[in-house]
Amino acid sequence: MTFSIVARSADGQALGVAVASKFLAVGAAVPAAEAGVGAIATQAFANLAYRPDGLTMLRAGRTAEETIAALTAADERRDSRQAGVVDSAGRAATFTGAECHTWAGGVTDDGIAVQGNILVGPEVVDAMVRAWNRSGRSEPLARRLLAALTAGDAAGGDRRGRQSAALLVVTPDGGYDGGSDVLVDLRVDDHPRPVYELARLLDLHDLYFGKPDPASLLVLDGELAVEVRERLAALGHAGEDLDGVLADWAGVENYEERLVPGKIDPVVLAELRSKGPARG
């Protein structure tokens, strides 16, 4: 029912899963990941217990291969299962039961496990691996996973059609305001072009929750400070403390993750300028 990629980032800090399927809300069933532990995809006639059980095994120090071996050995219906696992060391393993609907199969490479079932053919998995290897090792893991998923979709994906897609990435303190390890958790539950929609959502996620590039930050003084103050006042946000006024507006617009005292992110400045007419 599904094609997926499970991966670890080149620097070892992030782990994640990207998946698409002709299945409602695939993100609720297939992916699981824990920072510093590993990532798992369970699919075909999915055994959802593989997710907590597999993470428990990985947390206890089992490798990806040992984890898949243990999960499937204890499962009487393993021949109808499919799974991919990557551990915190970047070791990968994939499993496809003999009774999975064709085409079904999977491959592993450095830091990734790619697998699918009910696919148009092996070209889906091959395209995903090529796209992963073409992407830059320094690119964010979410972007590399999306590139692989997009390539699989373009190669034909699930032979029954398209319905849902999901992207899950974890990294230590990567969540909103550092309050969790969940860096990205996006789901498209029912859509005619779910991978395309997932890409749109990731763009929005980066806009709202991406961290500013320190090298690109602009100092809030002089003419720029005057412009920002005027634009904020025109939007109903005024006061003596420019940082405070900017934070007040940014909190309403959901750009608070991009704030740096005394400076402004060009991304935030562009969004502020888009809210009103140019200065006279």
Going from N- to C-terminal start, the domains of the chain cover 2-209, 215-273
**Token reading at 75:** 């499962």
Could you please state the CATH topology (level 3) that the domain comprising 2-209 is classified under: Glutamine Phosphoribosylpyrophosphate, subunit 1, domain 1 (3.60.20)
Q: Rounded CA gap, 172 and 197, in Å?
A: 27
Two tokens, residue 98: 């003999």
- The residue type of 14 is A
Q: Mention every residue, 6+ apart, whose C-beta is less than 8 A from residue 252.
A: none
User: Tens digit of pLDDT for each residue in 46-94?
Assistant: 999 999 999 999 999 999 999 999 999 999 999 999 999 999 999 999 9
Edge-first strand order for the sheet with 105-109 is 105-109, 112-116, 2-8, 15-21, 164-170, 182-188
**pLDDT tier, 279 (very low <50, low <70, confident <90, very high otherwise):** low
- Going from the C-alpha of 159 to that of each of 21, 59, 210, the distances in angstroms are 9, 35, 35
CA nearest neighbour of 8 among 127, 93, 130:
93
Computed over every residue of the chain, the mean pLDDT equals: 96
Tens digits of residue pLDDT in 201-255:
999 999 999 999 999 999 999 999 999 999 999 999 999 999 999 999 999 999 9
Whether the predicted pLDDT of 17 surpasses 70:
yes
